[in-house]
Amino acid sequence: MSASDQGNSYLDKVVAQQAVLEDDLKARRSPPPPPGAVGAAPAPGPLAKRDRALGGAAPADRPGPGPVDVRISGFWRWKNVLVPPNAFVVHTRRGRAEPLHIGLGVSFRFNPSTDSFLVVPGATQTILINAYCICRELQGVLVQGYVQWIIQDFGTAYRKLDFGGDDPMRLVNLQLREQAEAAIKDKVATMGVRDVLSDKQPIIEELTARLRAVAEGEDNSDQGLGLRIVTVQIKEAVVSSSRLWENLQKPYRAEQGQIARLAELEAEEAVAQREMAAARIKETQRLEHERELAELRARNESQLFDTEAAEKLRRTRREHDDSREFAELQTETTRHALRMERERHEEEAETGRLRIERDHELARLRTEGELALADLRARSRHEQALLDLERDAARAALENERTPAAVQARLIASLPEIMARLPKPDELRAVTVGGADQTGVAGLVTQLAAVIGALRAATEGPGPEGR
């Protein structure tokens, strides 16, 4: 803070702001509207004039006394007082020691000739404090604070406090303000300037204790005013002398300037060291980079030379290997062709040999088959001749052994079977054998033989010569 020796501009500013704040906190009421304006009250009638002549209350449309918006309705002795819910009211009547009505927001009937009432705001009240104090070093100090209080026991408060006038709280606030300023001055007188500026809690505690002892009474006794202290706060403490204020600030400013200068020097030194370190690192990095580039170039050239030499050697070896592989491939191809040719000749010779052997074998098998077949045919003819001989012998034997009667009986017995097995002839031929005895056995056999031969001829059909 900068200030001249002629005055304390900061103190003047604080006082001006406090005055503006105090003026803003005051309740402002709008003036009554002019006669004839819209919403203006009508002119007083005969009843209003009579009420004023009798000393009665205000008309029903006019607010009651004080800053509380109290409405009074009715006329003459039959009036009603309507109290807002956030206002305390006490209603007394002539000839009664105790109030008829007392409490918060209580409405009642009112007779102007015998009754009286008092309305007090019930909201929290704020007192702004500007205490010009003298500290222990005999220096002027302005202490700013505020106190908030509220009515706790209206039955006690309306008896001990003066709530009269247009502003019921004005006198009570002034009294409490004076007591608060006195308590602050007493406490600041025992403290040093630095203590007042740095620690305001002792002032708050002292002020709270004194105000509560006055407003609420000590140890919950009935010596209080029926009020309750809501909060006590100290906003600011200002040294009145600008020179003293500057002197108080000089050690701290000098210490802070020293700290700032040392910080600047340390910062400059740190910056210089960092710059040198950065330059050294930069130069080292540049040299290292150049060295790495030289090594990289040499390594690249060496690798390039090695690569070229290795490529030449690889190409030479590859050409030699290719020529050798080509020669080996030609040799292997020739060998393979010779081997294939030899194998083909061998296969052809083997095939010819196998063909000759197969022909010889087939000729041998054909000869053996023909011989076996001829042998079988000869044997078959021999066996057939033997069988024919044996059959002829057996037949001759049988024919020799048979008697005519047996042969006749057997033929007669076999005739039905023979006739059943024989096919039905397409034509019937009659053969008559003459010149023989038809009744004898030889004639009968001859006839049967002729019949059988005819039937066989009919069955077998014509011979080879007749076809």
* Range from 5-19, 174-188, 358-372 carrying the lowest mean pLDDT: 5-19
Q: Across all residues in the chain, what is the average pLDDT?
A: 76
Can you give the pLDDT at residue 467?
40
Mean pLDDT score, 326-334: 86
- Let me know if 135 is exposed, middle or buried by CB neighbors in 10 A (0-12, 13-18, 19+): buried
What are 57-102's pLDDT values in tens digits? 333 333 334 467 788 888 888 888 888 888 888 888 888 888 888 8
Structure tokens at 201: 């809690």
Can you give the pLDDT at residue 270?
87
Can you give the pLDDT at residue 47?
37
Q: Is the pLDDT of residue 25 over 50?
A: yes
Q: Is the pLDDT of residue 461 over 70?
A: no
Per-residue pLDDT band at 320 (split at 50, 70, 90): confident
Tell which residue, 309, 154, 291, has the closest CA to residue 225. 154
Can you give the pLDDT at residue 57?
38
Can you give the pLDDT at residue 53?
37
Can you give the pLDDT at residue 62?
38
Q: Is the pLDDT of residue 36 over 70?
A: no
pTM for the full predicted model: 0.42
Per-residue pLDDT band at 459 (split at 50, 70, 90): low
Can you give the pLDDT at residue 55?
37
What are 353-368's pLDDT values in tens digits? 888 888 888 888 888 8
Domain boundaries, the chain: 44-122, 410-460
Longest dimension (CA), the chain: 211
Per-residue pLDDT band at 153 (split at 50, 70, 90): confident
Which of residues 245 and 322 earns the better pLDDT score? Answer: 322
Per-residue pLDDT band at 232 (split at 50, 70, 90): confident
Q: Is the pLDDT of residue 464 over 60?
A: no
Can you give the pLDDT at residue 74?
82
Mean pLDDT score, 189-214: 83
What are 401-419's pLDDT values in tens digits? 666 677 677 777 777 777 7
Q: Is the pLDDT of residue 17 over 80?
A: no
What are 121-131's pLDDT values in tens digits? 888 888 888 88
Q: Is the pLDDT of residue 433 over 60?
A: no
Percent of the chain with pLDDT over 90: 0
Task: Determine the residue type at 299.
Answer: R
Which of residues 336 and 463 earns the better pLDDT score? Answer: 336
Mean pLDDT score, 15-28: 62
* Range from 23-37, 284-298, 336-350, 351-365 carrying the lowest mean pLDDT: 23-37
SS3 string, the chain, reads CCCCCCCCHHHHHHHHHHHHHHHHHCCCCCCCCCCCCCCCCCCCCHHHHHHHHHCCCCCCCCCCCCCCCCEEEEECCEEEEECCCCEEEEEEECCCCCCCEEEECCCEEECCCCEEEEEEECCCEEEEEEEEEECCCCCEEEEEEEEEEEECCHHHHHHHCCCCCCCCCHHHHHHHHHHHHHHHHHHHCCCCHHHHHHCCHHHHHHHHHHHHHHHCCHHHCCCCCCEEEEEEEEEEEEECCHHHHHHHHHHHHHHHHHHHHHHHHHHHHHHHHHHHHHHHHHHHHHHHHHHHHHHHHHHHHHHHHHHHHHHHHHHHHHHHHHHHHHHHHHHHHHHHHHHHHHHHHHHHHHHHHHHHHHHHHHHHHHHHHHHHHHHHHHHHHHHHHHHHHHHHHHHHHHHHHCCHHHHHHHHHHHHHHHHHHCCCCCCCCCCCCCCCCCCCHHHHHHHHHHHHHHHHHHHHCCCCCCC
Q: Is the pLDDT of residue 370 over 50?
A: yes
Q: Is the pLDDT of residue 221 over 70?
A: no
* Range from 164-173, 255-264, 279-288, 318-327 carrying the lowest mean pLDDT: 164-173
Q: Is the pLDDT of residue 429 over 70?
A: no
Phi/psi class of residue 375: alpha, beta or left (left: φ > 0; alpha: ψ in -120 to 50)?
A: alpha
> How many whole angstroms separate alpha carbon 65 and alpha carbon 157?
18
